[in-house]
Structure 1
């Protein structure tokens, strides 16, 4: 539900920059109509390339490669190459070069006349955390140039490098969870992460009415960690219908979920203003 909420925030905010930092699976472009302004290649790592002119076919590279990336006729398969450069170091004929490899694309666009940034990571590519950092740097640069004071980030799931890169240095993290076993498990992990980096956070319970027992477990966890629960969004099939229509929830209907998301945004605004005032 985090993308549905973040996209709705984008529609409700007057002046903002929106950044979809889920670079492995950017979904926000599906519900935010936009016009692409610029596409910037992202070179996240180097890959081995064997020079057929210098190669003598000794086979040392095949022996030393632990990823089986070197195929027939001494050609490197980029998807399998991890960029460790062991083959280049061990080649007696210096026939292997480590070459910058494009592993993704940063997309700068406009939605509703305001900046909207996202990225596409290539299939099987690495360094998604580095791509998130580059995406945020672009957003920060635009904010400084065009005098925006609000950046809304839709972060990826989990607690890995892309998540750390998404939340580092932010003013506030809104944790979206749901009353399921997996939702509770992920909530506990992200709470530990935000506390580790000392980032103020709050919680929103999505589909809050599907399990009273699990909802209470979430409230207990938040109470134990002194994290406020600032929103509860009921299960509402309008959310699904809005996605099918390619719209945000707050655009599609004035149903229960839409109303609660609007209230949630008002609360978030108040919290941000209070944090900035400090």
Structure 2
């Protein structure tokens, strides 16, 4: 299975729009949305049937048994994260502040506190004509890289005979991106033609090079700033990074997204540019 990962240096560059179009062009049967902090690929790649839903268990959180708690307050006074609150003489844990360090469990004389596995997210798997794996991490949780790995593993497990998998990654260069890049055959970076977009591209290239992953670059809305687009192309040429193409600004793209459609379903300049990029990417793969 060849794995194509779509990344961008920041949100709003057109990464998911590009991924949805490439999925439609390739008729990919293995798809994953690894942007677990804000998954949205499902909005433009309609799935049929109900998903198989499972909990994602991350780290541990403290839990206080109100029946055993005598209200001594030792747990609260020892908590460095201010995660324990008193109410009506007993104490409770704020799950968003708790770091799972276990100090409260250690100091409790009544053994009213214990660390329990935290339900840190929700995994969804659609299995019909294709396999679509996605997940949503709960607010304030820090296990995004682990969850991304589980999303990819589910996709690979249930679509093992598929020739091509397309993965929509997270923006930036953080933990979920590093977990997404692992095992990818090619990363397509969707760049923004701006000063900050160029800086974002440099950071992504450096990250991919450290992970020894093959890269290609395309520019979305290139005609908004031809000067920065040319700068990105020169940068790619200097670093010997394949430049896959340029996508023009197209109002029909926004209309398609708002209607929950893929650009691949339209007849417009952006669609034609993306099809050309798709053909280039397939040659690189």
TM-score, normalized by length of structure 1?
A: 0.92
Aligned to 1:209: 223
- Deviation of residue 149 (structure 1)? 2.3
Q: What aligned pairs does 1:155-234 form with structure 2 within 5 A after superposition?
A: 155-234=169-248
Out of 240, 246, 255, the residue aligned to residue 268 of structure 2 is 255
d(CA) in 2 for partners of 1:224, 1:94:
63
> 1 CA distance for matches of 2:106 and 2:228?
54
Tell me what 1:117 maps to.
Answer: 133
Give 1:12's match in structure 2, choosing from 25, 37, 43: 25
Helix, strand or coil: the match of 1:97? strand
Partner residue of 2:111?
A: 94
Greater RCO (Cα-Cα under 8 Å, separation 6 or more): 2
- Give me the TM-score of the superposition, normalised by structure 2: 0.90
Cα pair 1:143 1:149 within 8 Å, conserved: no
Unaligned ranges ≥5, structure 1? 273-278
- 1:95 CA displacement: 2.2
Residues 57-84 of structure 1 deviation map (CA, whole Å, 9 limit, x = unaligned): 2222112212211011210111221222
Q: Would you say the 8 A contact 1:17–1:150 is kept in 2?
A: yes
After superposing on structure 2, the runs of 4+ consecutive aligned residues of structure 1 that deviate more than 4 Å are none
The Cα offsets for residues 17-50 of structure 1, whole Å up to 9 and x where unpaired, read as 1101001111111111112330111111211001
Output one character per residue of 1:181-231: Cα deviation in whole Å (capped at 9) or x when no partner.
221121111100000000000101111111122112212322232211111
Provide the secondary structure at the position in 1 that maps to 2:222: coil
Q: Helix, strand or coil for the counterpart of 1:155?
A: strand
Q: Work out which of the residue numbers 66, 70, 93 in structure 2 matches 1:56.
A: 70
Q: Could you tell me how far apart the structure 2 residues matched to 1:9 and 1:215 are? A: 22
**1:81 counterpart = 2:98:** yes
Contact 1:175 1:202 in 2 (8 A): yes
Distance in 2 between the 1:15 and 1:71 partners?
Answer: 50
Residue 132 (structure 1) aligned with residue 148 (structure 2)? yes
Shift of 1:110: 4.4
